[in-house]
Amino acid sequence: MSVLLKNVSYIYGKGSSEEKLALRDINLEIRQNEFAAVVGHTGSGKSTLIQLLNGLEKAESGEIFFHGKNIYDKDFSMKMLRSKVGLVFQYPEHQLFESTVVKDVAFGPSNMGWEQLKVELSTFGALKDVGIGEELFDVSPLALSGGQKRRVAIAGVLAMEPEILVLDEPMAGLDPASRKEIFELLKKLHRERKITVLLVSHSMEDVAEYASRVIVMNQGQIVLDGEPRKVFRYEKELSKIGLGVPQATSLMHFLAEQGVAVEDDCLTVQESISAILKWLK
C-alpha cells in the first residue's frame, strides 16, 4: 500500500456563498508501482483529489494514510510527504525560474536540507533519466523547447526521489512528437525507478495505451475503477457523464452492435486492425 483514502470529503469555500462539495466520501487506494489514470470532465474533482495526496489541500472529513500512517497526525511530516509524493502541475514549465537548468532541478532537493553531494547526485541523476544532456545544464530553462522544458520540470520533481509521481494533464500544449516523448519517459521511469505514476488526463487514447488502471470521477465521486478494458466497456455510461472511450474501442463496439463477430474490447488502432483481420479470415 502507498496511499489510502478513507471516507474523504472536501468542501470549497466552506461558509461562503461559493460553498461547493468537491469530493464526496472518497475511498481509494493507490498501490505501489502501478500506472493509474484519473479521468473525468471539468469540475469532477480530479485536481482536488490529487492535491490532497501530498497535503496541498486538507480534507474536510475522512482520513488519508501514507504507508499506513495518518498524514493528519500531529507528528506526521508533511515535508517528507511532499518529497515522496511529487506533484507535476499542468504547464509545469511555468514554474521554471532559476538561471540555469541545473539550478532549477537542484532547487527542491536543496530545500530538503540534504548534503551537497546528495543534492548534486540526485540532480544529475534526474536530468539523465529525463534525457537532458550536459550541453543543456548551464542553459536557461526558458531557452529550451516546450518538450525540453516539460522534461526539466519533471526532473525537478524526480530529484527529490519521490515514490509517487502525480501529473495533472502533463501533455497539455505539446505537439504529438513531444507528447510521445513524455509518455515514453513516464513508462521508463515507472519501469526503471519503480515509481508509482498517477496521471490526470482527458485523452482516452493516451490512457488506454499507457495506464493499467482507470479511475473515473463524476460530481466528486468515483464511479468506475478498474482495468482499461473493463472500464471502457461502459461506453454509454461514460457518455452520459461527458466522457468518451478510445476511438478504436468505439469503432469495435459499433461493429459488434451491427452483428459483426469481432472482439470488441480493443484499446488501440493496432488491436482493432488485428481483430478485424482475424474476423475477415
Residue 265 resides in a domain: no
Average pLDDT on 38-45 reads 91
Query: Residue 1 — pLDDT band, cuts 50, 70, 90?
Result: low
Residue 245 resides in a domain: no
Residue 280 resides in a domain: no
Residue 250 resides in a domain: no
Residue 191 resides in a domain: yes
Question: Which tops the pLDDT comparison, 52 or 181?
Answer: 52
Residue 122 has pLDDT above 80, yes or no: yes
Residue 108 resides in a domain: yes
Question: In this predicted structure, what is the pLDDT of residue 93?
Answer: 77
DSSP the chain: --EEEEEEEEEETTTSTT-EEEEEEEEEEE-TT-EEEEE--TTSSHHHHHHHHTTSS--SEEEEEETTEETTSTT--HHHHHHHEEEE-SSGGGG--SSSHHHHHHHHHHHTT--HHHHHHHHHHHHHHTT--GGGTTS-GGGS-HHHHHHHHHHHHHTT--SEEEEESTTTT--HHHHHHHHHHHHHHHHHS--EEEEE-S-HHHHHHH-SEEEEEETTEEEEEE-HHHHTT-HHHHHHTT----HHHHHHHHHHHTT--------SHHHHHHHHHHHH-
Residue 181 resides in a domain: yes
Lowest mean pLDDT among 17-21, 44-48, 159-163, 199-203: 17-21
Residue 194 resides in a domain: yes
Lowest mean pLDDT among 89-93, 119-123, 181-185, 252-256: 89-93
Domain count, the chain: 1
Average pLDDT, the chain: 91
Residue 17 has pLDDT above 80, yes or no: no
Task: Note down the domain range covering 16.
Answer: 3-226
Instruction: CATH number of the domain at 207, please.
Output: 3.40.50.300
